Amino acid sequence: MGEFQYERISRELRQDIVGGLYRPGDRIPSEDELARRYGVSRMTARSAVSELVHEGVVYRMQGKGAFVAQSKIIRDVNSLAGFFQDMRERGLDPGSKVLRVETRRASQRELEQLGLSGAAEESVREVERIRFVSGEAVGYQRLVVPLHRVPEIASLDFRRQSFYAHLKEVGLPLRHAWQRMEAVIDPQIAALLSSPSQVPFFFIERVSYAADDQPVELLSSYFRADRYSYEVRIG
Amino acid sequence: MGEFQYERISRELRQDIVGGLYRPGDRIPSEDELARRYGVSRMTARSAVSELVHEGVVYRMQGKGAFVAQSKIIRDVNSLAGFFQDMRERGLDPGSKVLRVETRRASQRELEQLGLSGAAEESVREVERIRFVSGEAVGYQRLVVPLHRVPEIASLDFRRQSFYAHLKEVGLPLRHAWQRMEAVIDPQIAALLSSPSQVPFFFIERVSYAADDQPVELLSSYFRADRYSYEVRIG
DNA sequence: AAGTGGTCTAGACCACAGA
DNA sequence: CTGTGGTCTAGACCACTTG
């Protein structure tokens, strides 16, 4: 046989999804139901569903079932817009939850990334946030800002205020940036976002600069790759 | 218990990998060995290894074992360089295998992507290739070129000649491009590249334009995300 | 309480690689 | 032939959600 049982089951489920029998948000048959229907053990039915989960076609919720995933949100890599502005421009409903705000010394690695290798004793403000769209956690971001660039940051309320909007108000808008994009699978981040542990994430590290070519922020982001795609213009 | 057995096993393996006990290319202990060592069933040991495989930290080869993955190759998104040039500039050993070359009518979707919606009856040249680095298949690309832009393409030998180098030679170098990046898991592409079926891929669709702002190519690429990361300059 | 996903067992047979 | 990963079984118990 050229096809294993779990492959047949996941193939037929996939066809039912692209064919529109199960639409985004719909529950697919339970593992027990699939096991009965195909005459296999539950572990085999589970393998079939796992394959779809790994592909991002389906996500699971314990105690509730397995559901067809939503389609993707497109982000413009070239844009220096912040998360809120970007989502609103797309007619979506952004949300944010601050996990942690702290002032501390920069690590050696952060100094290098920010191109501040020479500066010893540099203090930075660090902000950890979870990003939501329509109530669903879609991303995690860690923002590191050198205190000497934005001294008033210590008194900023990140629960109420957009950092990018603030930079514009104080005349320090971002002018250009450098970023590195990876695609990773990270169960810890997944757990933080209550998303399936095997969903791939875009991991993006960005260093942004103001008009004076000096760095203003180091932003590390994880966004669910089953929810986002990225557009780039070149040249 | 806050940690499952498979989580403990994969965590300890992960530590041994980042700690340098197992280095890229090394074989990690077999599933049977892990099962004995931790006193669990083989299925549980296998779950632990599977987690690392999903993370891209480890890859499996049937009959041989599970091995620590290599570190990533960085590509510059802003560069319009071709695959061969880009890899060579990084001191790597690129390779290519042509799967298929064909002249045919463009599909409706391709015409839209190329911005040629008005042009009926458009013929295109299609080239499918697998990309190698140091003998390992790392990517799959499908190139679609409108015949009217590069008429001589029908006689080009893609086994011997770089398309991008050819464009430069005939005075039609690429000037700018637009691309969309996704991260996907696709067992079919994985199979084509003989890579683990759950490895995430960057899926990149690019439309490139010459100096006259007319499209020259539509390039769809899949590159292994456990082998590549992407850099972008903005602004 | 019933249904669902999450983990786990102790075996089994198969396919593939290598000595 | 042995060791490895790949699949599969027929159960089990747990955690979580919903009625």
One-letter amino acid of B86: D
Structure tokens that stand for B194 in this block: 């003989």
Please tell me the distance in Å from B72's CA to the nearest CA on chain A: 9
How far apart CA B97 and CA B127 sit, in angstroms, is 11
Percent of chain A surpassing pLDDT 70: 97
Short-list B214, B202, B162, CA closest to B77: B202
- The backbone torsions φ and ψ at residue B140, rounded to the nearest 5 degrees and listed phi first, read -130, 135
Contact status of A211 with chain B (Cβ, < 8 Å)? no
Give strand pairing partners of A59: A67
pLDDT over 60 (residue B1): no
| pLDDT band for position A119 (cuts 50, 70, 90) | low
How far apart CA B188 and CA A58 sit, in angstroms, is 17
Q: What is the pLDDT of residues B130-172, one digit of tens each?
A: 999 888 899 999 999 999 889 889 888 887 778 888 888 887 8
pLDDT over 70 (residue A35): yes
Which residue of A77, A175, A185 is in closest CB contact with B55? A185
pLDDT over 80 (residue A194): yes
Residue A121 is predicted with a pLDDT of 66
pLDDT over 90 (residue B91): no
Nearest CA in chain B to A235: B176
Per DSSP, B19 falls in state T
pLDDT over 70 (residue B38): yes
How far apart CA A184 and CA B57 sit, in angstroms, is 10
If you count residue pairs, one on A and one on B, with CB atoms under 8 Å apart, how many are there?
115
Q: What is the average per-residue pLDDT within B17-33?
A: 92
Contact status of A51 with chain B (Cβ, < 8 Å)? yes
Q: For residue B170, give the 3-state DSSP assignment.
A: coil
Handedness of CA B214, B80, B207, B102 (dihedral sign): positive
Could you check: is the Cβ of residue B47 within 7 Å of any atom of nucleic acid strand C?
yes
One-letter amino acid of B107: S
Residue nearest to nucleotide D4 (CA to C1'): B63
Q: What is the average per-residue pLDDT within B176-199?
A: 88
Ranked by mean pLDDT, the top range of A37-46, A91-100, B56-65 is A37-46
Q: How far is CA B213 from the centre of its chain?
A: 28
| B225 contacts A180? CB cut-off 8 A | no
Nucleotides of C under 7 A from a protein CB: 3-12, 15-18
- The backbone torsions φ and ψ at residue B40, rounded to the nearest 5 degrees and listed phi first, read -125, 175
Which string of DSSP letters, residue by residue, matches B103-138? EEEPPHHHHHHTT-TT-TT-EEEEEEEEEEETTEEE
| A201 contacts B185? CB cut-off 8 A | no
Q: What is the rounded average pLDDT for all residues in chain A? A: 88
Residue A134 is predicted with a pLDDT of 80
Q: For residue A202, give the 3-state DSSP assignment.
A: strand
Distance between start and end Cα atoms, chain A: 50
Give strand pairing partners of B205: B180, B220
Of A109-123, A128-142, A182-196, B166-180, the range with the lowest mean pLDDT is A109-123
How far apart CA B206 and CA B185 sit, in angstroms, is 19
| B145 Cβ contact partners less than 8 Å away, ≥ 6 residues apart | B124, B125, B126, B127, B153, B163, B216, B217, B218
Can you give the distance from the CA of residue B3 to the C1' of nucleotide C6 in angstroms?
12
Which residue of B54, B175, B178 is in closest CB contact with A54? B54
Cβ atoms of A80 and A211 within 8 Å: the answer is no
| B202 contacts A234? CB cut-off 8 A | no
Pairing of strands B228-234, B73-76: parallel
| B186 contacts A234? CB cut-off 8 A | no
Residue B235 is predicted with a pLDDT of 67
Contact status of A6 with chain B (Cβ, < 8 Å)? no
Could you check: is the Cβ of residue A31 within 7 Å of any atom of nucleic acid strand C?
yes
| B185 contacts A78? CB cut-off 8 A | no
pLDDT over 70 (residue A235): no
Structure tokens that stand for B132 in this block: 């190698």
Cβ atoms of B8 and B51 within 8 Å: the answer is no
pLDDT over 60 (residue B100): yes
Ranked by mean pLDDT, the top range of A37-51, A80-94, A176-190 is A37-51
Cβ atoms of B109 and B125 within 8 Å: the answer is no
Contact status of A56 with chain B (Cβ, < 8 Å)? yes
For nucleic chain D, give residues with Cβ below 7 angstroms from it: A 4-7, 39-44, 47, 61-64; B 30-33, 42-43, 46, 49, 60-66
pLDDT over 60 (residue B104): yes
Buried (b) or exposed (e) across B107-140, using 16+ Cβ within 10 A? eeebbebbebeeeeebebbbbbbbbbbeeebbbb
Give the CA distances from residue A85 to residues A92, A148, A161, in Å, rounded to whole numbers and listed in that order: 10, 26, 12
Please tell me the distance in Å from A111's CA to the nearest CA on chain B: 19
Give the CA distances from residue A192 to residues A96, A185, A204, B50, B80, in Å, rounded to whole numbers and listed in that order: 14, 13, 17, 21, 37
Q: What is the average per-residue pLDDT within A199-212?
A: 90
Which string of DSSP letters, residue by residue, matches A98-150? EEEEEEEEPPHHHHHHTT-TT-TT-EEEEEEEEEEETTEEEEEEEEEEETTTS
Cβ atoms of B138 and B224 within 8 Å: the answer is yes
How far apart CA B142 and CA B161 sit, in angstroms, is 16
Contact status of B78 with chain A (Cβ, < 8 Å)? yes
Can you give the distance from the CA of residue B184 to the C1' of nucleotide C13 in angstroms?
33
Q: What is the average per-residue pLDDT within A46-59?
A: 88
| A179 contacts B201? CB cut-off 8 A | no
Q: Which residue has the higher pLDDT, B103 or A117?
A: B103
Q: What is the pLDDT of residues B46-70, one digit of tens each?
A: 999 999 988 778 888 889 999 998 8
Nearest CA in chain B to A76: B180
| pLDDT band for position B121 (cuts 50, 70, 90) | low
Most B CBs within 10 A among A59, A227, A234, hence the mutation to make, goes to A234
CB atoms within 10 A of CB A104: 11
Residue B55 is predicted with a pLDDT of 79
Residue B89 is predicted with a pLDDT of 73
pLDDT over 90 (residue A141): yes
Of A57-71, A110-124, B176-190, the range with the lowest mean pLDDT is A110-124
Return residues 214-233 of A near B (CB < 8 Å).
225, 229-233
